[in-house]
């Protein structure tokens, strides 16, 4: 597992981001990154840029399929950039709905998570 430095949250600075993408079940395989079982996105619930709550991955993947665990700030920057560049959205919940978002992430994980479908649609 490649732990990287925390990058300040400047959502506009694409040049400083590593070349990582969310898990794609069509081209990638879940991997054990040290938690004792295969992992795909490892979701966490954060405030989205527009003030809602979003579930975004903290485990991102190189185009070659190698996982990298990133800080929450970097995850937010990667998610924001990925949405803009690919015209997709990560799951959103109402402002302050952290419990609902966390429960949705747990439910998704219990039925196979991102191994069944892409997280961002």
Domain definitions of the chain by residue range: 15-107
- Entry pTM: 0.79
Cβ neighbors of 35 (< 8 A, separation 6 or more) are none
SS3 label, residue 85: helix
What are the beta bridge partners of residue 43? 57
What gap in Å lies between CA 78 and CA 15, rounded to an integer?
11
| 7 — pLDDT class (breaks 50, 70, 90) | very low
SS3 label, residue 12: coil
| 2 — pLDDT class (breaks 50, 70, 90) | very low
pLDDT of residue 25: 84
Q: Please give the structure tokens belonging to residue 27.
A: 């081209």
Tell me what the pLDDT averaged over the chain comes to. Answer: 82
Q: How far apart are the first and last CA of the chain?
A: 27
pLDDT of residue 90: 95
What gap in Å lies between CA 110 and CA 121, rounded to an integer?
20
A 10 A CB-CB count for 21 gives: 18
């Amino acid at each position: 597992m490649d732990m990287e430095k925390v990058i300040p949250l400047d959502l506009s600075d694409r040049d400083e981001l590593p070349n990582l993408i969310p898990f794609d079940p069509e081209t990638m395989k879940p991997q054990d990154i040290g938690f004792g079982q295969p992992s795909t996105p490892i979701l966490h619930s954060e405030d989205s840029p527009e003030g809602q709550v979003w579930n975004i991955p903290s485990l991102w993947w190189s185009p070659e399929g190698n996982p990298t665990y990133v800080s929450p700030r970097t995850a937010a920057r990667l998610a924001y950039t990925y949405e803009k560049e690919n015209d997709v959205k990560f799951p959103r919940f109402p402002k302050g709905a952290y419990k609902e978002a966390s429960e949705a992430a747990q439910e998704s994980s219990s039925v196979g998570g991102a191994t069944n479908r892409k997280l961002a649609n």
